[in-house]
Amino acid sequence: MLTLVSIVKLLAEIALLAMAGQWLLGLLAGAKKEQNLFYQLLQVLTRPFVTATRLVTPKIVIDRHVPLVAFLLMSFVWIAATVAKINICVRIGVELCK
C-alpha cells in the first residue's frame, strides 16, 4: 500500500512540476512559446493529465481553463497522497517508511 501511495504522489509531483514549468516558460517565451522545444516537451508531459481532466470536467468549463483545473486537481491528489503516506508511516513506523 505504501508503494502505491508513493507512486501516486510521485506522479502528481511530476505533473505539477511540468505544469508549473510549462506555465512559467509560456510567460517567458511569449507568443513564440509553441515553437520552443522545451515548451513542447512539457506539453507532451502534461497532455495526459489535461486530457483526463477534460473528460472529467463538465462542458461549461472553457477549454482555456482546463490546464488550471488539471493543476488544481493534481494538487488535491498530491495532498491526499501525502496525507495517506503520513498515516501509513505513522501506523507501520517511521523507520519502515525510509
Structural domains in the chain (count): 1
CB atoms within 10 A of CB 53: 21
pLDDT of residue 94: 84
- Going residue by residue through the chain (98 aa), what tens digit of pLDDT does each one get? 999 999 999 999 999 999 999 999 999 988 888 899 999 999 999 999 999 999 999 999 999 999 999 999 999 999 999 999 999 999 998 888 87
Q: Are 25 and 36 in contact (CB under 8 A)?
A: yes
Per-residue cell: 44: 507532451
Say how far apart CA 90 and CA 28 lie, in whole Å: 43
| Rounded to 5°, angle at Cα 51 from 48 and 52 | 85
Say how far apart CA 88 and CA 83 lie, in whole Å: 9
Domain range enclosing 49: 2-97
